Amino acid sequence: MLDSTPTKRPIPFYGSYASFLRAMRELKENGIPHRVTTKALGPLLKDDTNRVVAGFAANGWIDANGVPSDDLQRLVASFGSDMWKAALYGIVPHTYAFISSDWADLTRATLRDAFVSHTGRDAEAIRSAETFFLCLATEAGFRFPDEFDRRVVRQIADARRSISSDRTSAPEKAVTPPVATGGSISAKSHELIDLIVKLSALLGEGNMTDLERKSVGVTISFLARQMNTA
C-alpha cells in the first residue's frame, strides 16, 4: 500500500512583515554578506534571525549554502527607492508560483489550500506565511478581494510603524487606519491606505528632524480620519 502522507516542504517566509522590512533595511545599510546565515545576520536582526534566514531559504532567495540569489540582491538594492515596488512586482509571482489561480479572485479557502498543498502542512502552520504573502504582494501592487483587506492593511501599517520606532526614542503615537467592517473598500480608501503606508515608511528615515517627523505623524492622523468618510 502506498504511503499517502504528503511530502513536507519548507514553509515560505513566515516571519512578520516587520521582520522582513527590518532585514531589508539592515542588509541595505550594512551590505549583503557572501553567505546569508544565522551567524552572519544575528548581530543585525537579533530575535528575528532564525525566521528570516529560514524564510529566505524557503523562498529561494538564498541557496543551501546561504549564497544570495539575484532576487534577494534586487530586493535589497531597491529597498527604500522608487524601484522597490517594481522589484516586488517582478519577484513575487515566481516566488509564489504555487498559488496558481487569479489572485484577484482568491478566497481564504483557495489561498489556504495552495499553501497546504505546497508545504504538506496543516492550515494552522501556514497562516503566518499566508499573511506575509498577502502583505508582500499588496505592496507589489497586486489587488486582492475585500475579504483580505483588514488582515493586510493592519499588518503593513503595523510593520511600517514598528521599524520606524526602532530609531526614535519617542515615536509618534501609533495610528491604526480605520478599516471598513462591511462591504467593499472604496478606491479612495485604497489610495488613502497607500499614502499612509508610504508616509509611515518616511518615519524610518534617520535624517529627519523632530519637527519633520511630527509633521508626518500629523498628516498620517489626518489621512486616517479621512478614511472614515471614504
Q: Write out pLDDT tens, residues 172-187.
A: 444 444 444 444 445 6
Cell for 90? 517582478
Residue 206 has what DSSP assignment? T
Q: Indicate if the pLDDT at residue 170 is higher than 50.
A: no
Beta-bridge mates of residue 68:
62
- DSSP secondary structure string for all residues of 36-75: --HHHHHHHHGGGHHHHHHHHHHTTSB-TT-PBPHHHHHH
Q: Count the alpha carbons within 13 Å of 206 in the hemisphere toward its beta carbon.
A: 6
Q: Indicate if the pLDDT at residue 163 is higher than 60.
A: yes
Mean pLDDT of the chain, nearest integer: 82
Q: Which residues contact 142 (CB under 8 A, 6 or more apart)?
A: 89, 92, 103, 104
Quote the pLDDT of residue 177: 46
Decide which of 210 and 205 is more confident.
210
Quote the pLDDT of residue 187: 60
Nearest to 132 by CA among 110, 161, 109, 158: 158
Q: How much of the chain is helix, strand and coil, in % rounded to 5? A: 60, 0, 35
Q: Count the alpha carbons within 13 Å of 178 in the hemisphere toward its beta carbon.
A: 15
For cell 479621512, name the residue.
226
Q: Write out pLDDT tens, residues 20-71.
A: 999 999 999 999 999 999 999 999 898 899 999 999 999 999 999 999 999 9
- Other beta carbons within 10 angstroms of residue 70's beta carbon come to 9
Quote the pLDDT of residue 206: 52
Residue 131 has what DSSP assignment? H
Q: Indicate if the pLDDT at residue 171 is higher than 60.
A: no
Quote the pLDDT of residue 148: 85
Q: Buried (b) or exposed (e) across 167-197, using 16+ Cβ within 10 A?
A: eeeeebeebebbbbeeeebeeebeebbeebb
Nearest to 216 by CA among 190, 195, 192, 230: 195
Residue ranges covered by each domain of the chain:
145-230
